[in-house]
Each structure stands twice: as C-alpha cells, then as structure tokens.
Amino acid sequence: MEKEKIYEQLEIAAHRAYARGIQTGNGGNCSARMEGGMIVKSSGGSLADCNKEGEGFVETTLDGEVLSPSGKPTREVFLHGLMYKIADELGLSVGGVMHCHSPWAISWSYSKKALPMTTLHMQLKVGCDLPVVDVKTASVQPEDEPAIRKLFEENPKLPGFILVGHGVVALGKDILAAEHMAELFEETAQIAITKAACEKLGIY
C-alpha cells in the first residue's frame, strides 16, 4: 500500500476510535506497517488530533528507531514492533495494530479470565476467547515478550488480547481492520459483563 494511503487509514482509524469512545483523552496509540518499518503514533497528544498529513505520527523501524520526522514515538513502540515481528515470523498478515484503553474491556480484565465469545459476532469473526495478559508495568516491556509470543504460537489466528487494568491490543490486515477489531472486543466485553449482571440479578 502507498504511504499516503496508509496515513489516510491511520487518520480514519484514530478518529474513529476516539469518536466511538474506545479511547478518550490523550491515551491509546495505533500503528500501521510500512516498507522498512512502521508508522506509529507519537508520544503525547490525542488520537483525535492525529492526521493524514503526519501530525501525531512518527516513522520508525520495528525496533523503534526513529526514521522520520524527528519525534518521539509512543511509549508502546516496543509493543507495536513486537506484533509485526511475531506476525512476520509466523507468516501472519498484520498491517495494523490498535491499542486503546476501552473501559468495558479493562473492567473485564480484572477478572484475569479470558473474555468469552459471548456474542455470535465474536464467534463468527474471532472464533476464540480473548486472552488476558497481566503486564506489570504501564507499557509492554521486552520481559513480557515470551508470554505474548506464546499466545500467537498457540493460536496464530488470534486477533489480539487484553492487558489487565490497561486496555486492548487489536490486530488487523490494516489499521482500519484493527480498529474494527478493537470495537468488537469492547462490544463483547460490555455484553459479557451485562449478561453476567443479568444472571446475578435473576433476570434470566
């Protein structure tokens, strides 16, 4: 895909995540694969303010070294690079990664149980429960790599995971697909929680 098109998709995905409320304020980050590396959200700023002209983004290698322009990538740059490296190693088609602090998914994550395929949509589109990973720091670090890598080795079709008390990591063939996947995770978590509440209240 041409770089111009990738930036257009990044803008649409970033704005959509903000508009849908799966990310508020200046948290969350996203990236898309490009030749020779990735385009990743820069540090600080809101997804709402990133644009296709390149504001709010920085181009880096998969190891997080800045290529252009000068700027500081998100603190989650390691996570984004790791996702593409794992995808390459396992022959998976991953062109975009959306990481956001979506409230229902975070709420579910405190259970430390995999998010079940509560809805038909999740069964059809994902076909597996969504694992929850307990990372001890505010951002994914190299020491977390083995646990994350293992998830994909066990299930190469896995479209993402949830970080305990933190947020979701959603993958897609491009950043638009990754953003849609993040929305599906959030929808599923909301329904799983409300369903559990209904059962507890004796509604059914």
Please check whether residue 102 is in contact with residue 170, taking contact to mean a CB–CB distance below 8 angstroms: no
Residues 115-174 that bind Zn ion (CB under 5 A): 167
Instruction: Give the x/- contact pattern for Zn ion in 64-103, rule: CB under 5 A.
Output: ----------------------------------------
- Chain-centre distance for alpha carbon 110: 18
Question: With contacts defined by CB under 5 A, how many residues of the chain interact with Zn ion?
Answer: 1
Residue 96 vs 167, nearer CB to Zn ion: 167
> How many residues are recorded in the chain?
204
- Output the six-digit token pair for 195: 């369903």
Q: How far is the CB of 204 from Zn ion (least distance, A)?
A: 35
Closest listed residue to residue 158, CA positions, set 187, 129, 199: 129
Q: How far is the CB of 201 from Zn ion (least distance, A)?
A: 32
Cα–Cα distances in angstroms (integers) from residue 48 to residues 74, 173, 182, in the given order? 15, 22, 16
Q: How far is the CB of 73 from Zn ion (least distance, A)?
A: 13
Question: CA neighbours within 13 Å on the CB side: how many for 43?
Answer: 12
Closest listed residue to residue 115, CA positions, set 139, 132, 133, 98: 132
Residue 51 vs 139, nearer CB to Zn ion: 139
Q: How far is the CB of 101 from Zn ion (least distance, A)?
A: 6
Residue 16 vs 117, nearer CB to Zn ion: 16
Residue 64 vs 167, nearer CB to Zn ion: 167
Q: How far is the CB of 166 from Zn ion (least distance, A)?
A: 5
Residue in the shown chain whose Cβ atom is closest to Zn ion: 167
Residue 118 vs 172, nearer CB to Zn ion: 172
Residue 93 vs 141, nearer CB to Zn ion: 141
Number of H helices, E strands in the chain: 6, 8
Classify residue 53 by burial, with Cβ atoms within 10 Å: 0-12, 13-18, 19+. exposed
Q: How far is the CB of 36 from Zn ion (least distance, A)?
A: 25
Using CB under 5 A as the criterion, which residues of the chain lie in contact with Zn ion when the complex forms?
167
